[in-house]
Structure 1
Amino acid sequence: MSPIKCSSVLEAIGHTPLIELGRVGRDLPARIWAKAEFMNPGGSMKDRIALKMIEDAEQAGKLKPGDTVLEETSGNTGIGLAMVCAIKGYPFIAVMSEGNSPERRQILKALGAKVELVPQAEGGKPGQVTGDDLALVEKRAGELQQELGAFWVNQFHNPSNCAGHYETTAQEIWEQMEGRIDYFVDVVGTSGTFTGIATALKEKDPKIQCWVVEPASAPVLAGKPVTNPKHVLQGSSYAKIPALWKPEVCDGYITVTDGEAIRTSRRLASEEGLLVGYTAGGNVAAALRMAGWCDPGANIVTILCDSGMKYLSTDLFK
């Protein structure tokens, strides 16, 4: 259990509830369970990896007192890092695309971060950050790292990203489900969450099936054509294979449309009282479809990635 008293907000990271979605999943033969990662203090699952990546860098001597921390982010990892850096006293610079929701940059600034906004690629649309947009963000982050000599967290290539979920999120899910898990289903962005959790769960029980959720228009991990890299699943599915991806822990692929993700997010709010973002809606939409065809009584676990409070300026709840 999470401690009642914390010496800092960092001790409040993790130990999130696992909630059965008995209303949106009613009348389906399987049961759906959602890990409420939006209940981390920074509002997303990325708080876990922010703390892990910073503490591992400190222990390895890569990050020293007074150093500036730099990261490319869609917002959530940056928010987690801003929170961790505020406690530990590191100046923090978040490099992010103008296409990400404005609430994220507002939260970053409130936490004391400097935000470097990068214009979207030609034809870019707010709320739909593509791999091309991400490449521009990565390029700018590299330039700033050279200019400032900052410590670049580099979540897309940092093994501590996977380790954070392997060591915490997966262990919590296993304990909360008492090992009774049939399917784990989740989107892939950096692949830290999916790779970390799937690796740990399969070590405990190789029979657990781990499925990836991808946008219907960009199922690149499934080896299918990318017809449109623009989608609403912010922070995930950049139409490229991430460096941390481990295909050997993936048993299958399932796609969702933007409409399915949006409708499911709205259902989660109005029927389950869970105000979450687009990507959480995509995860649950995939789990709902899976619950319709898997064995009766099967347990499906997925992730509620972040809070819907970060999307109030978008069309998600309008």
Structure 2
Amino acid sequence: MTTNSILDLIGNTPTVELQHFSTNPGVRILAKLEGNNPGGSVKDRPVLMMFKDAEERGVLKPGAQLLEATSGNTGIAMAMIAALRGYRFRAVMAESASIERRKVMKMFGTDIILTDAAGGTNLAIKTAQQMLSEDPSWVNLNQFENSANPRSHEETTGPEILRDVPDVTHVVAGMGTGGTLTGLSAFMHRQTPQVKVVGVEPIAGSKIQGLRNMAAYTPGIFSFDNLDVTLRMTEDAPAFGIAREIYRKEGISVGISCGAALWGAMELARTLDSGVIVVIFPDRGDRYASTALFE
């Protein structure tokens, strides 16, 4: 395969059946490996669509400066595309974000502003908003409010799942911006309403990078009403433990949020008589080497 742009390789990620994690002999669990995107995560999809949308509307013009709050994966995707398109990009992120993420973004030429770790992504969002109010020349694509975020999953991720796993009964994903779940819900409920969309919500104050408890801040693109089922974690530990098991039992490189999503799929499987669950693995593990996941 040859292509004129790395962006042509975004999407059409593989789906693999997991051999060691179903908690019910009547239920198959398959993982969609979003870490196979060129930027290493599911965020390549919405970021590419947000860039295209902003360029088509004339919001992003040659020489534009971008500012975005991110927990890391969106930042890497933005850094990659901004470098290719010739935009300056400044990311605001909590200092708890892994050093690997920061280094990758800097390699793409990104300026990084770190906020106090205790405030998490919510503080990064507030800081970015303050900076934008002080200097409106910056362009903010705002992944938390941008309709192009869920639309990317409605137009790409959902159709890919149905194409590759036509007998799917449930789709499971973790809650971050809510874009993946909102887009998948819109597609599945329109095309195959019998397919249930299931969200996994971490605890308040969770240390799972990329996921969020919606009580503190609910992104404008997300609503619990879009979900058929919500599974709420009571601690972070299962996400870390399951992610480590995925490495050792399935040979797949994953991030912490993949462990959380698979926890949800396993919990769901226990409640079903039969089914085929597709769980979204949002990223891969190389950007977590300095975190507790690798301890």
What TM-score, normalized to structure 2?
0.94
Match of 1:176 in 2: 164
**Deviations along 1:177-230, whole A, 9 cap, x unmatched?**
12x121111111111011001110111111111111112xx3xxxxxxxxxx22
Match of 2:98 in 1: 101
Q: CA deviation at 1:232?
A: 2.7
Match of 2:290 in 1: 313
Paired letter, 2:186: T
Deviates more, 1:73-82 or 1:257-266: 257-266
| Runs of 4+ in structure 1 over 4 Å off | none
Match of 2:182 in 1: 195
| Structure 1 residue 167 corresponds to structure 2 residue 142 | no
Matches within 5 A, 1:228-247: 229-238=204-213, 239=215, 240-247=217-224
Paired letter, 2:121: L
Identify the match of residue 258 of structure 1 among 232, 236, 241. 236
Which blocks of at least 5 consecutive residues in structure 2 are unaligned?
none
Which blocks of at least 5 consecutive residues in structure 1 are unaligned?
125-131, 219-228
Q: Residue 24 of structure 2 contacts residue 269 of structure 2 at CA under 8 Å; is this kept in 1?
A: no
Identify the match of residue 186 of structure 1 among 173, 178, 181. 173
Identify the match of residue 52 of structure 1 among 40, 49, 52. 49
Match of 2:143 in 1: 155
Identify the match of residue 281 of structure 1 among 259, 276, 279. 259
Q: CA deviation at 1:26?
A: 7.3
Q: Residue 29 of structure 1 contacts residue 292 of structure 1 at CA under 8 Å; is this kept in 2?
A: no
| Structure 1 residue 293 corresponds to structure 2 residue 271 | yes
Matches within 5 A, 1:45-84: 45-84=42-81
1:168, 1:311 → 2: CA distance? 27
Q: Root-mean-square deviation (CA), in Å?
A: 1.5
1:99, 1:315 → 2: CA distance? 11
Count of residues in correspondence between the two structures: 291
Q: CA deviation at 1:23?
A: 2.3
Paired letter, 1:261: A
Q: CA deviation at 1:154?
A: 0.6
Match of 2:245 in 1: 267
2:116, 2:156 → 1: CA distance? 35
C-alpha distance 259-172 of structure 1, shift in aligned 2 (>3 A): same
**Deviations along 1:45-89, whole A, 9 cap, x unmatched?**
001111100110000111100111111100100100111111111
Q: CA deviation at 1:142?
A: 2.1
